[in-house]
Every structure is written in structure tokens, then in C-alpha cells.
Amino acid sequence: MPRNKKPLLRLIAPLLGAALVLTGCSGGSGGTDNTGPEAEAATLRVNFSGFPENWTPGQEMEGGLLRVPYETLLAPGENGHAEPFLASDYELEPESLTLTLQEGVTFHDGEPFNAEAVKVNVETVQAGATVWSGSFATIESIDVVDDYTVKFNLSEPSPSLPTVLTTRALPIASPKAIADGTIAQTPVGTSPWAYDDSLSIVGTKLYFGAFAEYWGEKPGFANVEIFGINESEAAAAALTNGEIDLSDVEDSVLPNFEGTDIQTFDYPAIRNNLIFFDRGEGGLFESQELRQAICTAINVDEAANVIGKITPVSQHFAEGELGHNPDIAGYPFDLDNAQALYAEAGSPSVSFEIAAAPYNEQQISIYMDQASQIGDFSATVSSMPPPQFASVWASGQYPAGLAANDEMTPYDWYQSWFAADAAGNPSGTESEALKTAADEAIAAGDSEEATELWGTVTQIISDEALTCAHAQSAETIAYNSTTVSGIDAPAEPWEAQSVNYRDLVPAS
């Protein structure tokens, strides 16, 4: 049954926090009145070092950018379960997921939000050649039951699907804009902030103005300007000069804020790992021994000492998360063993190009320098702007890559990167052992047995060295305490470039 809108908004506002930066519905905090004239005119000026190359649902976009124009069907709850958002209720069964949608929601272009719009968005992501398409592989068909009820028919039990619907995997965009292709360059969602081309400057600033027909409560800031300053010193100067209110920053510029009104905080936002894409027959990394050699030659602890804010870990999932396996040791650094594994692989000549962005170039360069110690190994690290990097690093254009992997469930992680038909597995290669283990885990649904079975899946992925060099790192957010308050970390786990935008209010 649909729930009353205002109680729903009060329920999810504190849960959306951070990354729902520009998503559905929460007001100010601390007793501040965010409905008066000041709030009507207030503009939040944010810098996140670059803009998406493509706003189409399913494309790679950081949470802090995506959630400005877009909202999601569900939101993360404090207890780890998905909570209502654009969908007011949901029912998950072994063969289906049925969503009851909020009524009275309108897209920025005037199109109605309804079951047909949801169907269009899911099918758009499914058809896209991105890692997110694997997240919806079990949706066999979609029934538009009525205007505000949509049913996903599943090919197999998918207990993690509601969680996926809280993430960046499915931002809900206007079906009209999707159909005519304009969505790629002009985002059209349902959030409180609508993109305004007339007030935007190509390559410099994106302007999102207050959406008068927004279905929820007004946020603390009526408008949001997003800047694309990708040089750390320049971003720090813009903050101290009062040109922007908030930005992600590097540790190197923190001394610039001493004695100023700029405050900072860190939150765990990124977990990344090296992935070998070209591992099919005849591929550069077809040999498991070669992959293991590279993994064993990489010293994540040493990289952490150089870079800072990197925490080496043995695997993708943290302790307490489904998929974490305490028996996984990963690949502790051992150069002698790495060189022996390289010899077992036939001492091949390895030369390739790997993509990087300014924020991970140092990490990737260190890893590749370390790996070069195994023998005839050479990797050229090619740095590019963040939007370009996001669109190509995992496209198959490069035989290996490293970037943020924020999948929160082992099913989502497996379907995104390691299944034979995963978009993040351009080689299409999957061992029989991995497929069998994954099939058994999927069939177990949400039973107690599933926990151990998914642990087996992650163990096989580690043993086969399909990925390694796991690390977690923090995002540093700096903000002007005289212009904005209510800053806190995002509610969405593992989303970089984000804060609790919906709770932000003008400091005055």
C-alpha cells in the first residue's frame, strides 16, 4: 500500500544523508527554517573536479554529481535494508520484485513518473554496455501492472536487488529524454534541482535551479552550482576566496586552510582493486600464474605509506558485509614468490597501457612499478581527465584497470565484473568452478547457507587472481563554515564525492 508522503519523507530524510545529495526529500536541520525567502534564493556552490561525460542512466557517474538531478527508487536504511523513496513500498519474492510508486511525482521536463518510466529506465541500463547492466541481469521481464505498480520478473532469486536500487546503478531519468537521446548531455530527473542550460557554462559550471513542481519537501539550498576545478591548489584557493562553499580536496592543500573558516572531514568513500580484463584465451593475462605473480609483487602497504589515507585490505568486502571471507589472505607482498610464479607462467614479455585519473595516478604508478620487478614487465600509465577515465577504464580498451568498485553485495560484484556475461568482463571468460559456486550461492537466496556460499565465490575470485591489490581510502571534504552547515558523511556506503546535501542549510 502506498504510504502517506510526509511520514515517508520524515522517515528517509536522515537515512539518505550524504549521497542523496540531490535526491528526494529532506529539509533543514538544527531548527533552521529552510522555507523562508533566504532559502528560496540560497545557492550551494560545489566543486567535484569534473563533470560526467554522459548523464544516461547506467553510465559511470560519481554519487555527488548523479544525485543532484536524479533520485533512486529506494534509499539505504540505517539497518542495512532498503527503504522507500521514489517507490513508496516494495515486496520481494523469489520470482519477482514488485514496487509501489509514489504518486504525484513529475520529471523536470513535465513527464509523469510512473511504472512505464521505471520500465524504460531499467531496460536502458540493461541494454547499456556498462558494469551496471550486470546488476539487473536477473530481471527477465517487466510488467506495468498499473500506473503506480511495476513488477520485475526474476530469472532466479535476487535478495540483493533492493539494495542495488539504492545505489548509482539506477538513477531515474525522464523516459522522453531517454527516447530522444538528449539525456546524454542534459540530465532530467525528479529531484529538487533541475538542470538549467541557460545558466550553465560548458566545461566550467553546471547550474541546477529549484524545481517548482518537486514532489517532496524543499531542501535547505534552493539551487546548486557544480564546478569542475580539477587542480587541487585551485580548488583550495576557490574555497578560501569564497568562490565556492564545498569541495573534495587532497591532503596536500590542507595547510592552506589553517587560520581560515574552512573546515574538513574524512569519510571512507572508496574501495578499489586491480582488475585483469584481458584474461581470455590468448589474452595478455590469460595465465593465472602471471596474474598471481603481479598480485604478489604489488606491495599495497608500501603504497599506503607513500600516498597516505589508503588502508590495505585482503578482499573487496569488509568484515560484517555479506561476501566477506575471513579465510582470504589475499596476496601478501613476496617478491621471490612473485618471480617464481612469473617463471611458472613462462616468463612472458608483458607490455601494455593502463588508464589513470589525477586522483589515482600515483597509486596505479606505484603498483605498476612494483609489478615490473617480476621480469620483462612494462606498463604505461596514461592519465586523463576524470570524466574520460570513468568512461573508458573498464571498457575493455585497456587489458587491466584500477578504479573504485562500490558494489555492496557479492551478487552485484560478481555480475558486474566476473560472470561470463558481465559488462566488466570483456573477455567473457569464467571458470567452471566460479560459475558453479556462484550458481549455488544465487540459488540459496537469502538463506543462512547463502553467507557461506558467497564466501566461497569471493575465495575463488581471489584464488584465480581475477582481481587483487585491494585498498580502502578516505574522501576529504572541505567546506566554508560561514556559508554552509549541516555537513556530514553520506548515508550511501562507498560513494565518493558526496555529502549529506539534503540536510545542508545556509550557515546564516
Give the integer Cα–Cα distance in Å for 484 and 247. 12
| Residue 157 confidence class, pLDDT cut points 50, 70, 90 | confident
% helix / strand / coil in the chain, to the nearest 5? Answer: 30, 25, 45
Grid coordinates belonging to 194: 533541475
pLDDT for residue 242: 96
Q: What would the pLDDT profile of 482-506 be if each residue is shown by its tens digit?
A: 999 998 888 888 888 888 888 899 9
Max Cα separation, the chain? 72
pLDDT > 90 fraction of the chain, expressed in percent and rounded: 71
Q: Average of pLDDT values for 202-215?
A: 95
pLDDT > 70 fraction of the chain, expressed in percent and rounded: 91
Nearest alpha carbon to residue 80 among 159, 149, 152: 159
Q: Average of pLDDT values for 299-323?
A: 92
Average the pLDDT over each of 187-201, 234-248, 404-418 and give the range with the smallest value.
Answer: 404-418
Annotate 109-139 with b (16+ C-beta within 10 A) or e (fewer): bebebbbebbbbbbbbbbebebbbbbbbbbb
- pLDDT for residue 5 is more than 70: no
Give the integer Cα–Cα distance in Å for 385 and 399. 19
DSSP string for 155-222? SS--TTHHHHTTSTT-----HHHHHHSGGGTS---SSSEEE-GGG-BTTTEEEEEE-TT-SS---S-S
Distance of CA 259 to the CA centre of its chain: 34
Q: Average of pLDDT values for 9-13?
A: 29
Return the top range by mean pLDDT from 10-24, 45-59, 203-217: 203-217
Q: Provide the residue type at 2 as one letter.
A: P
Burial (0-12, 13-18, 19+ Cβ within 10 Å), 160: buried
Q: What would the pLDDT profile of 49-63 be if each residue is shown by its tens digit?
A: 788 889 999 998 888
Q: What would the pLDDT profile of 445-463 be if each residue is shown by its tens digit?
A: 888 899 999 999 999 999 9
pLDDT for residue 390: 84
Query: Which domains are delineated in the chain?
Result: 5-230+481-506 (3.40.190.10), 269-473 (3.10.105.10)
pLDDT for residue 320: 87
Q: How far is CA 273 from CA 133, 276, 312, 367, 498, in A?
A: 20, 10, 10, 11, 21
